[in-house]
Amino acid sequence: MLILSVLMLLPIIYIFNHAFKPYHELFVYPPTFFVKEPNIQNFVELIWVTSNSIVPISRYLFNSLFVSLISVMGITIVSVLCAYPLSKHAFPGKKWIFSLIILMLMFTPEVIQIPRYLVVSNLGILNSYWGHLLPMLALPVGVFLLKQFIDQIPDTLLEASRIDGANEFIVLVKIIIPMCMPALATVAILSFQNSWSNVETSALFMQDDEMKTFPFFLSTLTSNLANNVARQGAAAVAALILLVPNLIFFVILQSKVISTMAHSGIK
């Protein structure tokens, strides 16, 4: 396991080292894994490149952080509100609805781009934060994971709570959500990764540059630098910036997942 862990960490270590390499190390052959003479020239170069942009880079960062954090909260709330009745309540069409959610896992984002654009356009939420948020709220894999997790909670525990006078809201907030924290943390990680790295909403729904996100801005920046030797340092820093928020968010919630699973026994 230690060997496998090291192998999994190698790409992350490489991205960090690559961002601090001077130009004579970026293009050395054979390539070096670790930086020998680290400096921050690549960061300065990225700032200089982005300084020519009409919209300041801080605006793209704010849009990305705002959309990602709100999306995480919205997706987790919508997913648990959908998974709980599918797991613990009986109503007409329950199996069909869950089958449709499973079917949605088969579709790639490219298949639904045109229908999604038509829906967003008809709702009149182009060039707004709603255009970023609403298409992201339905996460089928989140509903699936939470539904499977809630299935493991004994029905007798919920019945005992109802006998004690708890209504459905209390059952959900006081019993279901605390016992589903490992699954909720997993859904939060997946939703943040999906939202932070997403460029679809910026490319399709946002014509105003002030409403676009940081990953979209960096994707256009790095695409222009793909065949430009003089800007590969900026591209290396851009890759690092895209990685760091995902890494931090994963590390924080991963520790909570481990802690919750160790203390979430049913008594």
**Contact partners, residue 123, CB within 8 Å, separation at least 6:** 130, 134
What domains lie within the chain, and their CATH numbers?
40-262 (1.10.3720.10)
Contact 22, 39 (CB under 8 A): yes
DSSP annotation of 111: T
Contact 71, 136 (CB under 8 A): yes
Per residue in 23-73, pLDDT tens?
878 777 787 888 888 888 888 887 777 777 777 878 888 999 999 999 999
Q: CA dist 203 to 133, 141, 190, 211, Å?
A: 14, 24, 21, 10
Q: Give percent of the chain above pLDDT 70.
A: 91
Q: Identify the CA nearest to 135 among candidates 145, 152, 150, 121.
A: 121
Is 27 in a helix, a strand, or coil? coil
211 pLDDT more than 80? yes
Assess whether the previous peptide bond of 30 is cis (omega < 30° from 0).
Answer: yes
Of the pLDDT bands very low, low, confident and very high (cuts 50, 70, 90), residue 259 is low
Position 222 scores a pLDDT of 64
Per residue in 127-156, pLDDT tens?
899 999 998 888 888 898 889 888 888 888
Q: Identify the CA nearest to 80 among candidates 213, 180, 199.
A: 180
Contact 49, 197 (CB under 8 A): no
Q: If you search the block for the tokens 């026994």, which residue do you land on?
A: 265
**pTM higher than 0.85 for the full model?**
no
Query: Measured between alpha carbons, how far is 163 from 157 in angstroms, rounded to an integer?
Result: 10
